[in-house]
Amino acid sequence: MDHPLDLSHLTAPDTPLAIIGLGYVGLPLAVEFGKHRPVIGFDIKPERIAELQAGHDSTRETTPEELAAARHLTVTNDPEALRPCRIFIVTVPTPVDEYKRPDLTPLLKASATVGQVLKPGDLVIYESTVYPGCTEEDCAPVLEKWSGLKYLSSPSPQPSPTRGEGALPAPHAPSDANLPSQPQPDANLPSPLAGEGPGERGNQPGTFHLGYSPERINPGDPHHRLTTIKKVTSGSSPEIAAIVDALYRQIITAGTHRASSIRVAEAAKVIENTQRDLNIALMNELALIFGKLGIDTLEVLEAAGSKWNFLPFRPGLVGGHCIGVDPYYLTHKAIAIGHHPEVILAGRRINDRMGAHVAETVVKLMLQSGIGVCNSRVLILGLAFKENCPDLRNTRVVDIIDALREYSIRVDVYDPWIDRAEAQHEYGLHCLAELPRVAPPLPSPPPPGGRGQDGTPLRQPDHPSPLAGEGPGERGSIGPYDALILAVAHREFIQMGAAGLRALGKPKSVLYDVKAVLPADQVDGRL
């Protein structure tokens, strides 16, 4: 048993560390730490473990070379392998349920897994995005229950928030039936110490520590990588906060920001994405207004952007499982303590309606061009929630598709980045494997190391160019589509240009540019 106040087991450079959840956030973290110290990467999905053991990362956030460089990393789906670890970092999803309430199921199940191997003096750090209070109020009790240990926190200067009367029900949490069955007492695990509770400082027998350090990575962004983004850290006491901070400073070259408490760090993360969501919502509302006024939104934003302090946000679909989801964690907590968040929810409503707005606009453009809408064919270019990335989670392109289908439009979808089987599984969409062979010659591909519109280096997809291998005799025919919607600005589509995209349509087809990446005078409409 560790001596009181002795935290050396947490600071030793060879202390084994566990990463729970090897997705977009967990794997890069496991790989980075795995270059320097023993790391057990744990994930419940056997197929994820199998692909990583084969040296392949389907999220494309780490290359086979980076995986190989993590010499001290072992990946597994066996929770027993976690037993030697003293520091546990939880990076599992935090989605919302169908009623937009936080769904804590993965987080609490991961906490139960950790709880079963937790030892006195161990440290559990959460990275998943949550509402302020979640780590200590929701996760700590699960760790306590499964470990038989007590959470040791410093006295907090602020009162613990309480749920308001008549507030929303608790977030969707798994029933005990969903959690792993209660483990048999383990000879290695001490029984909980009676009478011991939070409020004491330092390391105490029969207790564990908590940290929170939110992730800020931006999938598909080759510039902002795990190590080059400043990281917020926090801990359950000043001593633990210092240990958490020092741990991350081993891998984060951009430095860290030590927050004063776990709740401050939790709140900081959730407002980063809420602020972004609201800024985009304002741009979307402006796009709705300017659309009615017949003014091009991008031209207005470019003009306004000539002022030094005008923020460079753009209208668009807000998908993915962060920006469109995290604000609901904050609004849930706000309502639970008796505050109805008006601005945040208004922004969410506007952003969630943009897919339907795009569909309605395209239908109007088709009708104005004399195109019969019923049974017409529309091609959607891009399904991922953002450009140059295979991530399909919470993509709002599906809202465009759903709305078009309500007009009895036949919709095809093509995206060179995504896993088509995943699109079928998640959204019931049978995506095209390749574009119809009708387009004019493609411009030459950019040289290796080329740069995108924003100056960032281009990432290469696993897939070949959409029309690669096409012979000259197959070109020049007329495409089958009545309208084309450029929904995601993948570099392949930008390279095709308006002319290349138009070649996929009938002579009188509509070309709509959701992302405003094509010249305005070469498209029929854009947000």
Ligand X SMILES: NC(=O)c1ccc[n+]([C@@H]2O[C@H](COP(=O)([O-])OP(=O)(O)OC[C@H]3O[C@@H](n4cnc5c(N)ncnc54)[C@H](O)[C@@H]3O)[C@@H](O)[C@H]2O)c1
Q: Which is closer to ligand X, CB of 106 or CB of 315?
A: 106
Question: Least distance from C-beta 22 to ligand X, angstroms?
Answer: 5
Per residue in 157-172, is it b (16+ CB within 10 Å) or e — as a string? eeeeeeeeeebeeebb
Nearer to ligand X, 391 or 513 (CB): 391
Window of 104-112, 191-199, 377-385, 417-425 that interacts with ligand X by CB under 6 A: 104-112
Contacting residues for 468 by C-beta, under 8 A, at least 6 apart: none
Name the nearest CA neighbour of 217 among 104, 129, 103, 330.
129
| 413 sits in which H/E element | strand 410-414
Q: Is 416 in the site for ligand X (CB under 6 A)?
A: no
Judged by CB under 6 A, does residue 395 bind ligand X? Answer: no
The residue among 490 and 502 lying less far from ligand X, judged by its C-beta, is: 490
What distance in Å separates the CA atoms of residue 251 and residue 254, rounded to the nearest whole number? 9
Segment interacting with ligand X (CB under 6 A) among 62-70, 102-110, 228-236, 504-512: 102-110
Under the binding rule (CB under 6 A), the answer on residue 45 touching ligand X is yes
Q: Which residue is nearest to ligand X (CB)?
A: 23
Neighbours of 337 (CB within 10 A): 13
Q: Strands, DSSP E only, in 87-131? A: 87-90, 123-126
Find the shortest distance in angstroms from Cβ 512 to ligand X: 28
Shortest Cβ distance from residue 223 to ligand X (Å)? 14
16: which 2 tokens?
């084994």
Judged by CB under 6 A, the stretch of 42-50, 158-166, 332-340, 422-430 that binds ligand X is 42-50
Q: Residue 181 Cβ, how far from ligand X at the closest point, in Å?
A: 15
Q: Does 215 engage in binding with ligand X (CB under 6 A)?
A: yes
- Active-site position among 85, 322, 389, 431: 322
Which residue in this structure is represented by tokens 């105490």?
Answer: 204
* 94 in Cβ contact with 107 (< 8 Å): yes
Residue 193 sits in the site that holds ligand X (CB under 6 A): no
Residue 318: how many other CB atoms lie within 10 Å: 26
Is there a catalytic annotation at residue 322?
yes
Region of 497 please: left (phi>0), alpha (psi -120 to 50) or beta.
left
Selected from 21, 102, 132, 355, the binder of ligand X by CB under 6 A is 21
Determine, following the binding rule CB under 6 A, whether residue 224 of this chain makes contact with ligand X: no
Helix (H) and strand (E) counts in the chain = 16, 14
Q: Which of 15, 62, 91, 284 binds ligand X (CB under 6 A)?
A: 91
| Region binding ligand X by CB under 6 A among candidate stretches 50-58, 108-116, 167-175, 229-237 | 108-116
Indicate whether 171 belongs to the interface with ligand X (CB under 6 A).
no
The three-state DSSP-derived secondary structure of 175-235 is: CHHHCCCCCCCCCCCCCCCCCCCCCCCCCCCCEEEEEECCCCCCCCCCCCCHHHCCEEECE
Residues of this chain, 295-354, that bind ligand X according to CB under 6 A: 321-322
Tokens 């483990």 found at: 183
* Residue 510 backbone phi and psi in degrees, to 5: -100, 135
Query: How many residues sit close enough to ligand X to count as binding (CB under 6 A)?
Result: 29
Of 93, 121, 466, 479, which lies in the binding site for ligand X, with binding defined by CB under 6 A? 93
Residue 397 CB, shortest distance to ligand X, in Å, is: 18
Q: Which residues bind ligand X (CB under 6 A)?
A: 20-26, 42-45, 48, 91-94, 106, 109-110, 113, 127-129, 215-217, 219, 321-322
Return the active site residues. 322
